[in-house]
Amino acid sequence: MMLMSAQKVPSKRPTCHCLFASIRRRLSVITPLPLQAPTTSNKNPSKSSSEFCRNIFFLSSTTQHRMGGTSTISVGSDGVAIITIINPPVNSLSLDGAKGKFSGGFDISAFGGVHEGKAMTTGAASKPGYVSIDILSDTLEAARKPSVAAIDGLALGGGLEVAMACHARIATSTAQLGLPELQLGVIPGFGGTQRLPRLVGLAKALEMMLTSKPVRGEEAHSLGLVDEIVSGDQLLETARKWALDILERRKPWIASLYKTDKLEPLGEAKEILNFARAQARRQAPNLQHPQVCIDVIEEGIVSGPRAGLKKEYEEFQILLQSDTCKSLVHVFFSQRGTMKVPGVTDRGLKPRQIKKVAILGGGLMGSGIATALLLSGYQVILKEVNQKFLEGGLGRVKGNLSSSVRKGKLSQEKMEKILSSLKGVLDYESFKDVDMVIEAVIENVSLKQQIFMDLEKYCSPHCILASNTSTIDLNLIGEKTKSHDRIIGAHFFSPAHVMPLLEIVRTANTSAQVVVDLLDVGKKIRKTPVVVGNCTGFAVNRMFFPYTQAALLLVERGADLYRVDKAITKFGMPMGPFRLCDLVGFGVAVATGSQFVFNFPERTYKSMLIPLMQEDKRAGETTRKGFYVYNDKRKASPDPEIKKYIDKAREMTGVSIDPKLEKISEKDIIEMIFFPVVNEACRVYAEGIAVKAADLDIAGVMGMGFPPYRGGIMFWGDKLGSKYVYSRLEEWSKLYGEFFKPCAYLAQRAALGAPLSAPLDQAKSRL
């Protein structure tokens, strides 16, 4: 959590802080606004100052400095200096933060400025490799006074890169160390590509960088990334002792940039690098930056670490301007922005304490929701209509938890303790003291209406009444109740204990307090909550209902079904629309689809293909036959029999084959599938169902698997341009009907050449 330096103290006046003072002055070239003047002390830090000590000394390369950050120097009589910059909340390398964290890494908000055309550095800092070479390598690492990093909490990204430039690292067992830069479309830029392989070995360094997964303190110690593990209350004194021991040569004085003992011989290293390239190409065929990261690491191994640092800087600058980086940074900030809901979270409301949650329905969704809640410490009551169904639901919950035990994510002892918080019931008697109920039964309006009438009778007046419905209007569900202010949608995505999105649906009557409560629950169960308005399908299913319909239209007019799925997966989706239909099951597809046909008849494509397949007992993956056939291991294979169903569907609806669609390109498949989704997203945004276009981007990425490196559906549409999206849809609507007709909002944006995702008030002022 700080860096320390030491030298022998020949007199009462300590002088070791001068080096760090000079470093700080050099850093002021990078930060135009000066830091507050450091305070100095000749006293050893006492136990009462331990909170102050849980900080970081770091090197900032940002052009900004927010007022309120402070820099402090504390020098003890032993000659050890502790230099601290206080920058909440995660000690990012340019914002205000301390509070028990070493550093969460470089301030990502600076990336946004670069993407808008602003320079990230000025003056000397614009020199290539200034931070990684001049500051970390030639000033900190090459100093005549040793430095030690004391790590508690996070040491990620640039934070870990600073720590690796120190001559030793001391950490707590709970510390997390990692280089997650690839999640943002770039590579480590402060020397991480060169130092990490030399500290932990090439194979582990590649794994840590390519997967962006941090390691805990104990593992970091076993790898050689950390030199000693101590408890939090011993961290400071141990690090101080290390600094003195290194100075007196009782501990090795190591410059990690020049370590070679962990590096494999060149031939073996090249084999490891080539294997990593092949793996990265298989797992991320559309991404270039993992390959660039491997190339930069190789440069350091083949040509030496200084050459590696130079290449690291050059490639970082190129990647910083890439579409991938822009998209991933947009997703990063959009995800964090979902917790801010105008008119709700800005009213000073505090979330109420929710301890006990009841769930109605123990099917796949209900059991998954129960699992997610139990894993986060909630008491859960699971209700079913009979003993058989109840046992099935409880068994599914136990199965979900057992899977976590098998994967090493949960101990058997912990699982048993979690299960003690689960209770199965067949009636409403236990509901009187629950804080929230989540209904997760089948998509049947009358059944849901009866359930909500019952809940109003048995639950307390303060109990939140939530529905997991994926498509049905909440006003319809609560139509026969008087509790409209506490009815809310809590739409999870399957499997509910795995998928990261929670779609929170509010009606015009839902109280702000209930929204705040559910936002808090979402955060505690580690979901990204997105608050949306009430309509058929809400945000995610409403946006994506044209996804499968467009695919059916293409196939019935001549496109090859399996080629469509292949093009969509190549684009970056987890699976194509037909494979997705098989996964969710034809019953669900028909039930949800009928809601859209009923509510949006003018723009739905009515296909007979799925109903025809259902008549022959084909219902998707569960029956081993859908658009694909499945073996005992659920592996999907194309089925030649599908052609007869397509021919019959064409015959019934009078659709003829279009020769152009028989030879359709991958690019046109992607656009004809996704531009209707963009079009519907524009309607959702224009209607105010989502308050921010970025919320729709996150909803699509986390709910439907839209590739994050494309930034989300609205961001992607803007990258292509509103005029282009409009012109293609207009062209197809003339050929294939109203399904492709551009909405008024899209037409207006195209006429102005305006972005789709600009704030609505700006749009209205221009229209």
- CB half-sphere exposure, 716, CA atoms < 13 A: 23
C-beta of residue 327 within 8 angstroms of C-beta of residue 711: yes
CA torsion 149→152→157→162, rounded to 10°? -10
Q: How far apart, in whole angstroms, are the C-alpha atoms of residue 83 and residue 60?
A: 13
One of 51, 116, 141, 181 is an active-site residue; which one? 181
C-beta of residue 146 within 8 angstroms of C-beta of residue 168: yes
Amino acid at 148: V
Clarify whether 181 is annotated catalytic. yes
Clarify whether 207 is annotated catalytic. no
Amino acid at 163: A
DSSP one-letter string for 561-608: HHHHHHHHHHHT-SS-HHHHHHHH-HHHHHHHHHHHHHH-GGG----S
- Scored b (16 or more CB within 10 A) or e, 647-684 reads eebbeeeebeebeebeebeeebbbbbbbbbbbbbbbbb
C-beta of residue 547 within 8 angstroms of C-beta of residue 677: yes
Q: Write the DSSP symbol of residue 179.
A: -
One of 161, 298, 439, 671 is an active-site residue; which one? 161
Helix, strand, coil distribution of the chain in percent, nearest 5: 50, 10, 35
Q: How far apart, in whole angstroms, are the C-alpha atoms of residue 180 and residue 208?
A: 8
DSSP 3-state of 11: coil
Q: How far apart, in whole angstroms, are the C-alpha atoms of residue 638 and residue 457?
A: 51
Helix axes 540-556, 642-653, angle to 10 degrees: 90
Q: How far apart, in whole angstroms, are the C-alpha atoms of residue 627 and residue 379?
A: 41
C-beta of residue 674 within 8 angstroms of C-beta of residue 706: no
Catalytic machinery residues: 161, 181
